[in-house]
């Protein structure tokens, strides 16, 4: 078969795959709409319970969120947002109809529902007529059914601001109270640092580090090209790009006849250049994104990107917990360390942090990777160190609240004979701790108990058991 005959078949196949993908996504949207509708039904039951027992409103709500969080393997925040969106969708029949038919995805619905909060607030405050919400749905769906969620978000916010009669200044002043900084772990030792700031400040920050990065790259690119002595073979010359940053040869001055000496002015941690006969060549091949990221870290953690103030590790003052094997700490191997609650950590960074901190504790692990004891002479503090190392975060399924923001609690109530022992203690955040409080009605109360391997078994009001296993340490043989 000729290539000309094969081309139409290839296009047909690509079209079939594309159409199949679109159809699957439409069915997914339909299923997501059904899931949202189920949350809406649950809200009705919740409201009925609250009406019957108004004094237990908070406990009823927290128990409901915990039940769905544990069953769906989702964080509490994700479930709360899902219930909030389901509640708002009940007052938006046009959007709900498009969602049910699969014409818009859950991501589109999320943007339309949340942008509509401005319109709903205006209706509640009497600043807009109730019919305005219907106009909002019609105007926003025109874009949502034909465009991406991101573009839907921008359009929905514009429509909401126009219909609600809010001025740009009023919106900005209200939004300024929502500024925040969050961190989400990624793979390979990286993390996503998100700063929610007023847009003008965010743009100014991006502009400043971009201009600084371009200046760094301009200075690097303006450096003279390497020159060689008469009769010298360029392939025999060691250039900066041939040497790793941590190589013992970094930061040396090369002389004639293959002689060299260390450069007393070069920084051992980050030498700016290596002197080659006849020239100086910068050893910086970072991309502009990498330069921006490095400047961002230096400006925040060291106040100014200056060698005199140290690098970003020198400026770390935050509270973190790192676990590293003694052999790795001593430099006998390069097994990854662990940033507790987040994931693997470069052993070089762990060793650098160890040299700046005197709060390290020696832990003993069994063959399965479980921490079994800590060599401390103070029992109470030893138990706390053990539990911090074992738990790392709140022990309710899916909760990631770090241990330093949690409470150590008895699984079996101390007042009812529970022992103050490792196998009866665990870290719980305040919200999940309160779920098992005896003051909560038994219809909404949760219970927790420990297993010998450190697993915490939670039993919900419906009798379903949700297990939270203690985080394991990676073992190397």
Cross-strand pairs, 402 = 393
Cross-strand pairs, 458 = 448, 466
DSSP codes joined into one string, 186-214: -STT-EEEEEE--HHHHHHHHHHHHHHHH
The token duo for 272 is 């700016």
Determine the 3-state secondary structure of 132 from DSSP: helix
The token duo for 216 is 């760094």
> Pseudo-torsion of CA 332, 336, 340, 343, nearest 10°?
180
Q: How far apart are CA 110 and CA 81, in angstroms?
A: 9
Closest C-alpha to 371, from 351, 391, 401, 353? 391
Look-up of token digits 């700046």: 356
Q: How far apart are CA 250 and CA 286, in angstroms?
A: 17
First to last CA, the chain: 56
- CB crowding 32-51: b at 16 or more within 10 Å, else e: bbeebbebbeebeebeebee
Q: How far apart are CA 3 and CA 1, in angstroms?
A: 7
> Which pLDDT score is estimated for 270?
40
Q: How far apart are CA 462 and CA 66, in angstroms?
A: 12
pTM of the model: 0.57
DSSP codes joined into one string, 168-184: HHHHHHHHGGG-EEEEE
* pLDDT tens, N- to C-terminus, the chain (477 residues): 444 444 555 777 878 888 999 999 999 999 999 999 999 999 999 999 999 999 999 999 999 999 999 999 999 999 999 999 999 999 999 999 999 999 999 999 999 999 898 888 888 888 788 888 999 999 999 889 988 888 788 788 778 877 876 544 566 667 777 888 888 888 777 888 888 877 667 766 777 788 788 888 887 777 665 555 555 555 555 555 555 555 554 555 545 444 444 444 444 444 443 444 444 444 677 888 888 888 888 777 766 555 554 544 454 444 556 777 777 777 887 776 766 655 556 777 777 777 666 556 555 555 655 555 544 434 466 678 788 888 888 899 888 788 878 888 888 776 777 777 778 888 999 889 989 888 888 888 889 988 878 889 998 888 888 888 887 654 433
Closest C-alpha to 82, from 42, 55, 30, 122? 42
Cross-strand pairs, 181 = 195
Q: How far apart are CA 144 and CA 112, in angstroms?
A: 8
**Would residue 188 be called left, alpha or beta, if left means φ above 0 and alpha means ψ between -120 and 50 degrees?**
left
- For 218, 222, 259, the CA distances from 275, given in Å and listed in that order, are 20, 16, 12
The token duo for 78 is 């994700």
- At residue 312's C-alpha, the angle toward residues 307 and 315, to 5°, is 95
Closest C-alpha to 110, from 33, 30, 25? 33
The token duo for 408 is 């150590």
Q: Output the CA torsion sign for 110, 115, 121, 122.
A: negative
Q: How far apart are CA 245 and CA 240, in angstroms?
A: 9
Quick one: how many helices (H) and strands (E) in the chain? 15, 16
> Which pLDDT score is estimated for 273?
39
Q: How far apart are CA 118 and CA 84, in angstroms?
A: 15
Look-up of token digits 């991406």: 148
Up-side HSE of residue 92: CA atoms within 13 Å toward CB? 30
> Which pLDDT score is estimated for 220?
74
């Amino acid at each position: 078969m000729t290539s000309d005959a094969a081309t139409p078949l290839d296009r047909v196949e690509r079209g079939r795959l594309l159409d199949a993908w679109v159809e699957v996504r439409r069915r997914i949207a339909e299923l997501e709409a059904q899931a949202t509708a189920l949350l809406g039904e649950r809200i009705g039951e919740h409201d009925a319970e609250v009406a019957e027992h108004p004094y237990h409103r908070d406990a009823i709500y927290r128990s409901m969120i915990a039940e769905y969080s544990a069953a769906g393997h989702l964080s509490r925040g994700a479930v709360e947002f899902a219930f909030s969106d389901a509640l708002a969708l009940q007052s938006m029949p046009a959007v709900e109809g498009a969602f049910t038919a699969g014409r818009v995805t859950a991501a589109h619905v999320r943007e339309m529902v949340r942008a509509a909060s401005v319109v709903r607030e205006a209706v509640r405050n009497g600043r807009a007529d109730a019919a305005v919400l219907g106009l909002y749905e019609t105007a926003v769906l025109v874009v949502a059914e034909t465009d991406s969620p991101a573009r839907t978000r921008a359009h929905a916010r514009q429509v909401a601001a126009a219909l609600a009669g809010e001025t740009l200044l009023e919106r900005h002043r209200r939004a300024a109270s929502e500024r925040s900084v969050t961190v989400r772990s990624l793979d390979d030792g990286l993390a996503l640092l998100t700063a929610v700031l007023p847009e003008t400040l965010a743009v100014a920050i991006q502009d400043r580090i971009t201009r600084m990065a371009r200046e760094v790259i301009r200075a690097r690119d303006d450096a003279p090209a390497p020159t060689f002595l008469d009769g010298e073979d360029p392939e025999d010359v060691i250039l900066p790009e041939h040497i790793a940053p941590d190589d013992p040869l970094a930061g040396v001055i090369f002389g004639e006849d293959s002689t060299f000496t260390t450069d007393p002015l070069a920084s051992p941690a980050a030498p700016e250049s290596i002197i080659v006969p006849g020239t100086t060549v910068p050893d910086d091949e970072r991309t502009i994104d990498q330069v921006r990221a490095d400047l961002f870290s230096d400006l925040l953690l060291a106040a100014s990107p200056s060698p005199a103030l140290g690098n970003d590790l020198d400026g770390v003052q935050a509270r973190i917990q790192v676990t590293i094997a003694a052999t790795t700490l001593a430099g006998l191997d390069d097994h990854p360390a662990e940033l507790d609650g987040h994931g693997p950590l470069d052993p070089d960074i762990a060793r650098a942090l160890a040299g700046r901190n005197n709060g390290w504790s020696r832990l003993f692990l069994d063959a399965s990777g479980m921490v079994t004891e800590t060599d401390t002479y103070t029992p109470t503090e030893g138990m706390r160190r053990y539990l911090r190392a074992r738990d790392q975060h709140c022990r309710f399924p899916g909760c990631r609240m770090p241990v330093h923001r949690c409470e150590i609690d008895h699984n079996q109530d101390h007042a009812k004979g529970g022992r103050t022992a490792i196998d009866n203690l665990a870290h719980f955040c305040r919200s999940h701790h309160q779920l098992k409080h005896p003051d909560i009605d038994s219809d909404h109360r949760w219970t927790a108990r420990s297993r010998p391997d450190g697993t915490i078994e939670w039993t919900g009001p419906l009798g379903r058991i949700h297990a939270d296993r203690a985080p394991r340490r990676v073992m190397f043989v």
